[in-house]
Amino acid sequence: MLGWGIIGCGMIAKFHARAISEMRGSRLVACYGRDKSKVEAFCAEFGGLAYDDLAAMLKDPSIDIVTICTPSGAHLEPGIAAARAGKHVLVEKPLEVTTKRCDRLIAECEKNNVYLGTIFPSRFHRSAILMKSAVEQGRFGSICVADAIVKWFRTQQYYDSGKWRGTWALDGGGALMVSAMTALRAHERIEVEDTAVATLEFESGALGTIVATTAAYPGTLKRIEIAGSGGMAVLEEEALVRWNFAKANKQDEKILAQVNSNTTGGGASDPAAIGHIAHRELFKDFAKSIQDGLPSRIDGTEGRRSVELINAIYKSAKTGKRVLLRSDATL
């Protein structure tokens, strides 16, 4: 039986608790929060012991894995504390807000011989796995363009609800945290952008765009589109709404029929409207990697890659210049 501890007792922590509750061979042991009344209410709903002393919680020998649900720029310190206590560490996205902070956390987990994982739940939707497999199989032919489009809506009250929201230090960035051009179009009292557009050139020569906003009422589900000389696929949240290939096979029609609906919701207008199913599948993968002694599908190094891209695009937005990313780059 694997014991889990949660650091943070806000909205996202509830998805973690639900995921843990549905995993065979796992149980929620404890939760830590700075506000004792809030963490007690959380544990009354989901179980486990309530702590307002992180060091005390980390001393519990029945906790094997800790998930971190603090603001983005406050992942490093509790992650280091957990690693030094011998706990495996699973961190909500992003891993941290700079690559230097990511590197410190990665190094600390390696030093203490514990696993480090990053939470990218959308990668565990069956539709996303199918799309990635199609890329790896070369079904798109020569890929010409790949786009990520996130047009969400967040109210001014959302940003005002927490002093950390919309700050560089703790939120780390705005709409998807990526941009080559940025703008603050619809919100007040935040440091970061609410609208962002980036263009990318991949190593293969394919081009791509990232378009993101939290100011588009009423908000739409996020989309990933891949188009090439051999086919096109469009993923809307976890629904495949387009799946066309020049060289069709007998599974294509079945795939499109089975994976054409959204079952876990989406955060288009309400950040609490997502589901916990993909979290559960990611947690299961992380737990299995620990038990089998194998790398997790999304480890700390993989989590760092997205932060490296984020930092690079912010650099491009600030300087107006193109930024070349290398696999060993440190920004």
Look at residue 177 in the predicted model and tell me its pLDDT: 38
Tell me if 98 sits within 8 A of 307, measured CB to CB. Answer: yes
Look at residue 139 in the predicted model and tell me its pLDDT: 97
Helices (H), 137-207: 156-160
- Average pLDDT, integer, range 290-310: 92
- Average pLDDT, integer, range 52-62: 98
Whether 179 shows a pLDDT value over 70: the answer reads: no
241 Cβ neighbours under 8 A, 6+ residues apart: 234, 235, 260
Q: Which CATH superfamily is domain 2-122+277-299 in?
A: NAD(P)-binding Rossmann-like Domain (3.40.50.720)
Q: For residue 312, give both structure tokens.
A: 């690079």
Percent of the chain at pLDDT exceeding 70: 95
Whether 169 shows a pLDDT value over 60: the answer reads: yes
Helices (H), the chain: 11-21, 36-46, 54-58, 76-84, 99-111, 126-136, 156-160, 252-258, 277-292, 300-319
Q: For residue 73, give both structure tokens.
A: 């720029």
Q: For residue 29, give both structure tokens.
A: 């042991």
Band of pLDDT at residue 173, cut at 50, 70 and 90: low
Whether 174 shows a pLDDT value over 60: the answer reads: no
- pTM of the predicted structure, to 2 decimals: 0.89
Tell me if 262 sits within 8 A of 237, measured CB to CB. Answer: yes
Q: For residue 192, give both structure tokens.
A: 């970061």
Look at residue 168 in the predicted model and tell me its pLDDT: 67
CA distance 314 to 181: 8
253 Cβ neighbours under 8 A, 6+ residues apart: none
Look at residue 265 in the predicted model and tell me its pLDDT: 75
Band of pLDDT at residue 275, cut at 50, 70 and 90: confident
Look at residue 309 in the predicted model and tell me its pLDDT: 87
> What ranges do the domains of the chain cover?
2-122+277-299, 125-269+307-319
pLDDT digits (tens, 9 = 90+) for 234-269: 999 999 999 999 999 989 989 988 888 877 778 888
Whether 327 shows a pLDDT value over 60: the answer reads: no
Instruction: Label residues 182-200 b or e (16+ Cβ within 10 Å = b).
Output: beeebbeebebbbbbbbeb
Band of pLDDT at residue 326, cut at 50, 70 and 90: low
CA distance 231 to 138: 10
Band of pLDDT at residue 313, cut at 50, 70 and 90: confident
In order, the DSSP letters of 207-274 are: EEEEEEESBSTT----EEEEEETTEEEEEETTEEEEEEESS--TTHHHHHHHS-S-SSB--SS-TT-B
What is the DSSP pairing of strand 181-183 with strand 195-201?
Answer: antiparallel
Tell me how far the alpha carbon of residue 66 is from its chain's centroid. Answer: 16
- Average pLDDT, integer, range 73-102: 97
In this structure, of 47-51, 190-194, 254-258, the range with the lowest mean pLDDT score is 190-194
Give 125-269+307-319's CATH code, choosing from 3.20.20.140, 3.30.360.10, 2.40.30.10, 2.60.40.420: 3.30.360.10
Whether 40 shows a pLDDT value over 60: the answer reads: yes
| H or E element at residue 17 | helix 11-21
In this structure, of 169-178, 225-234, 247-256, 265-274, the range with the lowest mean pLDDT score is 169-178
